[in-house]
Amino acid sequence: MPKSKEIYNFSAGPAALPDAVKQRIQAEWLDYQGLGVSVVEIGHRSVQFEELYQQAVQSFLELLELNADYEVLFVHGGASMQFAMVALNFMHSQKAAYVNTGMWATNAIQEARHYGQIEVVASSEEQNFNQIPNIPKLNQHFDYLHITLNNTIYGTEFHQLPEVQNNLPLIADASSNILSRRLEAQRFSMLYGGMQKNLGVAGIGFAIIHKSLLRPTKTHIPALLDYKSYVKYESRCNTPNTFGIYVTALVLDWIRQTGGVKKLEQQNIQKSELVYAQIDSSDFYTCFVKIGSRSRVNVVFSLPSLELENQFIQQATEQGLLFLKGHRARGGLRASMYNAMPISGAKKLTKFMQAFEQQYG
Ligand code: PMP
């Protein structure tokens, strides 16, 4: 069915998928690779599924410029389940360092506290999470340092990676900016997150783990929470979310065909700069995030009153600019522009912002 108007989806997650991916799902739905059945009706160990799985793993490694020292795993339960899994699997001496940059980081800390001693070594809580804090040199022993690379709710993002000493493993929740920018991925011992922003559908996550991190633990970990069982069974300890893995495989393919992470990064810079420039050029819109910490994928901003914000959302929706409401914990507005958002979406948003300001500013 043709679209009556151009729709741009600014949802923070589950978020927009590339049109090409949705079209491919539709085209393949009734007949996957000439089998006459759909991809969700075949076994997770079938030849056809095995092929798409292995391709997805290879694409992921290539796009992150990582070698076979890393395992690529597809994990049940989204990002939040891994808050506990990271601690359960890697807090061998029961002491870990965390950086608190917002609600998701706080949730990761709270989960990890059940399994050992957590030290919050840097936090921007006192600044209402409007910036990425400086991380001090860590002199004591920790099992790992955990950061949240992009803070979806508060619109902040690490633009410089922390320097770690003495081979301290660096672990990051990369849910909202994975493959949206080039990353020195080899500086991490682990990257993990949910798929539903840049990589596919909700309820399934990724874990990219350096093999050196995968050591035996002192206590038993339930199989489905143990990264080693995901390695052993190539993410298929039991029946996985095959549709989720399939969609991610298609998104990874799309990223490669679109020109890779470098090209998407340039587009993401361009999109976010367009919207930030619009905000900064007026007194009507404000962005509370400190320059230098601003996210390229979640642009968070406010208007002079709640009433104007509600009007903005209503009129934007009528014009096909969807889901611009900020997270309930933060309020205001939020334009989430992950890889699938074309530059034309950011342009349409800035034009709408100009027109709205002219009318109400
Ligand atoms: N971490 C970050 C940075 C997120 O943005 C989110 C979801 N918005 C989560 C973790 C939680 O993800 P999930 O709902 O998949 O558990």
Catalytic residue among 3, 22, 69, 197: 197
Catalytic residue (one of 3, 69, 95, 104): 104
| pLDDT tens by residue, 304-341 | 999 999 999 999 999 999 999 999 988 999 999 999 99
pLDDT at 165: 86
How does residue 166 score in pLDDT terms, banded at 50, 70 and 90?
A: confident
The catalytically annotated residue of 143, 173, 254, 271 is 173
Closest ligand 1 atom, CA of 194?
A: 15
Say yes or no: CB of residue 295 within 6 Å of ligand 1: no
CB distance 182 to 138 below 8 Å = no
Residue 329: partners with Cβ closer than 8 Å, 6 or more residues away: 103, 153
Residue 104 annotated among the catalytic residues of the structure: yes
d(CA 12, CA 176): 9
d(CA 354, ligand 1 centre) in Å: 32
Whole-number Å distance, alpha carbon 14 to ligand 1 midpoint, is: 10
Ligand 1 atom nearest residue 78's Cα: 15
Contacts of 307 (CB under 8 A, 6+ apart): none
User: Could you tell me if the CB of 13 is within 6 A of ligand 1?
Assistant: yes
Whether 69 is a known active-site residue: answer: no
Q: Which pLDDT belongs to residue 2?
A: 44
Rounded to the nearest whole angstrom, what is the distance from the C-alpha of residue 193 to the centroid of ligand 1? 7
Q: What is the mean pLDDT of residues 154-169?
A: 94
Which structure tokens are listed for 51? 């092929």
Ligand 1 binding pocket mutation candidate from 99, 152, 157 (most atoms within 8 A of CB): 152
Q: Taking residues 47-70, what's their average pLDDT?
A: 98
Q: Is 176 in the pocket of ligand 1 (CB under 6 A)?
A: yes
Q: Which residues is 150 bridged to in the sheet? A: 157
pLDDT tens-digit series, residues 255-284: 999 999 999 999 999 999 999 999 999 999
Question: Is 262 one of the annotated active-site residues of the chain?
Answer: no
pTM for the structure as a whole: 0.97
Confidence class for position 139, pLDDT limits 50, 70, 90: confident
CA-based nearest residue to 79, from 198, 168, 164: 198
Residue 86: pLDDT band with limits 50, 70, 90 = very high
**pLDDT tens sequence across 277-310:** 999 999 999 999 999 999 999 999 999 999 999 9
Local confidence band at 3 (pLDDT 50, 70, 90 cut-offs) = low
